[in-house]
Chains A and B, each alone.
Chain A
Amino acid sequence: MAEQAHSYKSYHVLSWPKEIYLSEDDKPERINPHPSPVAALMSTDWNGILHFAGSEADARSPGVMEGAIGAAYRVLDEMKQLLTDKSS
């Protein structure tokens, strides 16, 4: 059984450290710890003109898919007035 480990018919690799728009370090020496919520990442700036979504900016589940969606919903809420005005 154990030798069947070598019987793979294909392999598929994605090296996230080499994705320069996602990873800031292409030669990591350790795996980042799981993120905790950081309030300063969530706040708007420039008097409500700039908004920050992305999983790391979620209040509850940063880093994972749930957080990506949560941060998106928060930003949509920040822009609620604009979206309401436009659809009316």
Chain B
Amino acid sequence: MIFDVLVVGGGLSGMVIAQRLASVSNLHWKLLEARSVLGGRLANDDANLDIDLGGAWIWPEHQPKVSSLAKSLGIGTFLQPGDPESTRISGGAVQFIRKLGCNIPEGRIHLNTPVKSCSLVTKPTLDSKADTCAPTDNSLSYVEVRTTQDEIFKARHVVFAAPPKILFKQVEFVPPLNSDKQRAMERSKTWMAGVTKIALVYPNRFWDTRYANTGLPPGSGPAFQMYDSSTKDPNRTAALTFFTLVPSETPAYDDNNMLAKMVAQQLESIWHIMRQPVSIVVNFCTAGLFLFRFVLF
């Protein structure tokens, strides 16, 4: 069969589309997700502590769409402890994925289904003398999407909801996409792609949360930024989360236990600056990290 719509990618963007498609009664559609889980860059810890290990913050004042989506899905929000400028999602940002998926019928979403090629199939018209230069009639064309397991899905429309750079590297388009788009996809930098996020969970919140959301001095350890990732009720989960860049040639690259120790060591070594207002702490950081501090997720 030929589906009306095929969505490639089940992160926040793909799931917003899927939820809408599921509401259209006569529509035939599927969503293909490469990974074993939905959510893309939204993910919680695996111990049910409601700690975001991916995108965490929204800024409702400047972000009307995400705020109203949260409201319409009945998702709660709370202010980032110690930083009233940023807002977090109750239960973690992955709540969006859970709620968006609630009314999607069984069988529409295929996990573990990476796409490797996408080809345009144009049916020849009955009139062999048809002008081949005439604009393509979409009703005669469909797209053949092939997975890495060589499964084929046919569709009238295909929506790609995955990082452009990944599509550029992993999906072959026949015929090729327009050259401006190809170039833009090749150059695209995927936000957060380089970050390793690590949360340390503590028995209680022993720190002063006013000072816990901060950039960290370059050279002080693997983390360049930290924040208080405790849940709204800190009695449920008290945690600090660190954004780290772990060089591949260091043992911590493949050893999370070591990374945790290094980050704790770094926290101990910079403890004195956590006693100062954030604005002073930020002076230790480069301008880039300062920017990072405000625009992250």
Interface residues of A, Cβ cutoff 8 Å to B: 1-17, 19, 21-35, 38, 40-41, 43, 45-57, 61-66, 68-73, 75-76, 79, 82-83, 86-87
Contact = CB atoms under 8 A, between A and B. Distances in A.
B194 A53 contact: no
Interface string B1-33: 000110001011110110011001111000000
A28 B4 CA distance: 39
A21 to B, nearest CB: 4
Name which of A54, A56, A63 has the most chain B CB atoms within 10 A of its CB: A54
A32 B194 contact: yes
A12 B17 contact: no
B188 interface: yes
Nearest to B263: A11
B206 A11 contact: no
A38 B199 contact: no
Contacts of B196: 13-17
B163 interface: yes
B206 to A, nearest CB: 5
A72 B16 contact: yes
B164 interface: yes
A58 B45 CA distance: 28
Interface residues of B, number: 106
A32 B114 CA distance: 24
B16 A40 contact: no
Nearest to B266: A5
Contact of A21 (B35, B120, B136): B35
Given A17-B195, A28-B194, A43-B178, 18 more contacts: A1-B271, A2-B268, A7-B203, A13-B199, A14-B43, A24-B163, A28-B193, A29-B245, A32-B191, A38-B184, A46-B120, A47-B141, A53-B160, A55-B41, A63-B191, A72-B161, A76-B20, A86-B4
A51 B183 CA distance: 17
Contacts of A19: 35
A57 B185 CA distance: 10
A75 B159 contact: yes
B197 A53 contact: no
A16 B120 contact: no
Contacts of B195: 16-17, 31
A12 B160 contact: no
A24 B11 contact: no
